[in-house]
Chains A and B, each alone.
Chain A
Amino acid sequence: MITALWIMIALAALLGMILGYASIRFRVEGNPLAEKIDAVLPQTQCGQCGYPGCKPYADAIAKGEADINLCPPGGEEGIHKLAELLGVEFKPFGEDAQPKPKAVAFIDEQICIGCTLCIQACPVDAIAGAAKQMHTIITSECTGCELCVPPCPVDCISMLPIEEKLTNWKWRYPVFELRQTS
């Protein structure tokens, strides 16, 4: 009886030590879940979720503070991916957070006064220009976050939806649904 007890205690201690060692030895830097979530997010850094960027939102989701349906640029598919990653139910977008077609910002260069306010607002440094000099959007790097639109004092920034061109055209999903016709 006593022997068995001792064995159990010794075993528990040994396993505990192994576990403790493993947690130090194989420690993962940072928060791996938040990083995985961050990888799913579209990185527009638009703040529509109410957090100052994709990473903070990812951290908030990882901590369970934020819902998964707050990222309109990620689309419904983004929610599906998050739901799958976190093992939770899919949640549709709320009324005020509906996804919009993808767009890029465009500066009307004739109106721009070169105030640099939009440059300060751009989360990905996709606006080139300097004080009192005309600014322009680096289209290939613009995430379409719209953060540059409100600060502009002369309203010279507009969002242009990305048009379907030959170079970005996609084959459609074949629609052949069999349904009751009567």
Chain B
Amino acid sequence: MLSSPFITRTLSVDRIMLRVLYALLPGIALYVWYFGPAILVSIALAVTAALATEALMLKLRDRPLRPFLSDYSALLTGVLIALSIPPLAPWWLPVVGTAFAIAVAKHLYGGLGSNPFNPAMIGYAVLIISFPHEMTHWLSPQDMGHSALSLGQQLHYIFTSTLPAGMQLDALTMSTPLDTLKTQLHLGMTVSDIRDLPIYGRLAGKGSEMVAAGFALGGIYLLIARIIPWQLPLAFLGTLFALSGVFNLIDPAHYAPPLFHWFSGAAMIGAFFILTDPITSPTTAKGRILFGMGAGLLTFLIRAYGGFPDGVAFATILMNMCVPLIDAWTQPKVFGKKGSKR
């Protein structure tokens, strides 16, 4: 016999995930607008790989396929991985990253709800460590005067890794704005000189700053719809802003301004879509603030001093590790125990 309550509010896991996917749409649309449709191919590849791996793992683990395939969680992981790797990459790059994310980072830890690390970020980390070369060829914005590839040519490259005769991959791609910043700083340039380079726009990278703004827009929708808690993005972006602001004030020649940090790399998508993964983030309000602050601090440190151009992925993974501890530390007092010690 069932026990009470007999009624439920109908906001199920799949609807939550679906809303997160909707919230990614403005960012993806701007991505296509500025960098061409290759990203869609890479999303399609990653999503297919995600669903196939999910189905295979569910089968192996003797779990029903339908409820888990239709919860959109694997799909979301695929989309997030596709968005964090270069769009014009050989087909196996998103496939390998996604398959690893789903099979190892998610299912080997017990599947939906049990994975300690954000699968998309594990997938990204594996790719950037294993295939650093492929992971650095990012498409230049379409309006930068390069002879852009047609969709057919891009597909041809993605699946066969060959470009039309006379074209060089380096001519079509560039390193990311964060990467360029780091390299040029090493070469002795100042931040303001670097930002005069043609790949930079008003705030950060040309095109990519707008994509980041698109993700921020989606994120604000999620906040308003109360799909994600406000503490995480606020603490993360706030910490990143404060740290980069202080360093920029002290030494503007060597430290990029806060808004540059906000709109570069994975800061926005990280703040609203990756750190806010409920499974791998703390459950308490205080814990979320700590988690967001920690991730902001680590992101800034990795960006400023680390070996990788962007730090969101590693910051996320490192903070994921601290979640059980943070949760245990920040348990709130219950009703009627406010004045007492636990």
The residues of A with any CB-CB pair to B shorter than 8 Å are: 171, 178-181
**CA distance in complex: A179, B58 (Å):** 10
* B3 and A180 within 8 A (CB): no
Within the complex, what minimum Cβ distance (angstroms) separates A133 from chain B?
A: 48
Chain B residues near A178: list those with CB within 8 A: 63-64, 67
Chain B residues near A171: list those with CB within 8 A: 3
* A179 and B3 within 8 A (CB): no
Chain B residues near A179: list those with CB within 8 A: 62-64
**CA distance in complex: A178, B62 (Å):** 9
Within the complex, what minimum Cβ distance (angstroms) separates A164 from chain B?
A: 15
With both beta carbons as reference points, the residue of chain B lying nearest to A171 in the complex is identified as B3
14 pairs, CB–CB < 8 Å, chain A vs chain B: A171-B3, A178-B63, A178-B64, A178-B67, A179-B62, A179-B63, A179-B64, A180-B58, A180-B59, A180-B62, A180-B63, A180-B64, A180-B65, A181-B64
**CA distance in complex: A113, B326 (Å):** 68
Interface residue ranges of B44-62 to A (CB < 8 Å): 58-59, 62
The residues of B with any CB-CB pair to A shorter than 8 Å are: 3, 58-59, 62-65, 67
Chain A residues near B3: list those with CB within 8 A: 171
The 10 closest A-B pairs by CB, nearest first: A180-B62, A181-B64, A180-B64, A178-B64, A178-B63, A180-B63, A179-B62, A179-B64, A178-B67, A179-B63
Chain A residues near B58: list those with CB within 8 A: 180
Chain A residues near B62: list those with CB within 8 A: 179-180
Chain B residues near A181: list those with CB within 8 A: 64
Within the complex, what minimum Cβ distance (angstroms) separates B101 from chain A?
A: 22
**CA distance in complex: A178, B69 (Å):** 13
Other A-B pairs, 6, CB within 8 Å; known A178-B64, A180-B59: A178-B63, A179-B63, A180-B62, A180-B63, A180-B65, A181-B64
Within the complex, what minimum Cβ distance (angstroms) separates B292 from chain A?
A: 33
**CA distance in complex: A180, B59 (Å):** 8
Within the complex, what minimum Cβ distance (angstroms) separates B61 from chain A?
A: 9
**CA distance in complex: A178, B61 (Å):** 11
**CA distance in complex: A179, B59 (Å):** 10
**CA distance in complex: A181, B63 (Å):** 8
Within the complex, what minimum Cβ distance (angstroms) separates B8 from chain A?
A: 14
Chain A residues near B59: list those with CB within 8 A: 180
With both beta carbons as reference points, the residue of chain B lying nearest to A180 in the complex is identified as B62
**CA distance in complex: A181, B62 (Å):** 9
**CA distance in complex: A61, B122 (Å):** 47
Within the complex, what minimum Cβ distance (angstroms) separates A26 from chain B?
A: 29
